[in-house]
Amino acid sequence: MHFSNAIVRRPGRSIVNGLSMTASGPPVYEKALEQHAQYVKALGYCGLEVKVLDCLEDYPDATFVEDVAILTPDCAIITAPGAPSRRGEVEAIKPVLNPYYSCIECIHTPGTLEGGDLMQVGNHFYIGLSQRTNEAGARQLTAILEKYGITASTVPVVNFLHLKTAVTYVGQNHLMVAEGFALPEELQSFKAFQVPIAELPAANCILINDKIMMSAGFPRTQEQLGLIGTEIVAVDISEFAKIDGGLTCLSLRF
């Protein structure tokens, strides 16, 4: 997959009310804005043209744009977030995708699906069945992808928010795998970098063309990942991690 573009959304002040499974306290808005700007810069360094959308104050989690759409070379798919407070975010992303895609499909409730539950490896999507993505959503997505020649299969996600909270593909047949994630059989043919639970945010990396973006501040994992030989671009997104946000969820790449 070669990427040329990214879409991001600036966090609003309401980010302090974002959904969170942890007790890390709310993000500091000004710091989140600064980290977001660094994130945009890093995407640019990776060679992407970045479209920055205005914040959506009514939706505290709207900066996590990855969850509301899935972008493939031939079509965009608007998701149906499993979190009720995030459902309205999809209306705001549709007009943004119109100029880029002539084919826009939708997941419909009662199916639910969030982009954080999708891990793409080549022409295959692994769909995590989580608290946010259900069987009906996964079935709808699989049927849509098949029309465009893309295959998909489901994997269970327990104890983590999304599939990509626990596992991401970093190229050369390697995965980052969070400690405590039960790697399903169909992912066992990959080589795995184990990410200790103390460095959990480092399991969520993004392979962008010839570079890997990872969260800054996780030296053990960074050293391990360095063995793969791909250039690593480390970005501090600690304010977003306070509300369970990782690197992947802050952008749509295509």
Q: Which stretch binds ligand CIR (CB under 6 A): 69-77, 119-127, 180-188, 245-253?
A: 245-253
CB of residue 227 vs ligand CIR: minimum separation in angstroms? 25
2-61: which residues touch ligand CIR (CB under 6 A)?
Answer: 18-20, 61
| Interaction mask 136-175, ligand CIR, x per CB under 6 A | -------------------------xx--x----------
Q: Applying CB under 6 A, which of residues 55, 245, 252, 253 lies at the interface with ligand CIR?
A: 245
| Binding flag, residue 237, ligand CIR (CB under 6 A) | no
| 75 belongs to the catalytic site | no
CB of 162: closest distance to ligand CIR in angstroms? 5
The residue among 54, 116, 58 whose CA lies nearest residue 87 is 58
162 catalytic? Reply is yes
Among candidate residues 36, 162, 174, 205, the one labeled active-site is 162
Structure tokens at 49: 């043209």
* x/- map, 97-136, ligand CIR, by CB under 6 A: -------------------x--------------------
Closer to ligand CIR by CB, 174 or 242: give it: 242
Binding site for ligand CIR (CB under 6 A): 18-20, 61, 64, 66-67, 83, 86, 116, 161-162, 165, 243-246, 248-249
Q: Which residues are the active-site residues?
A: 162, 249
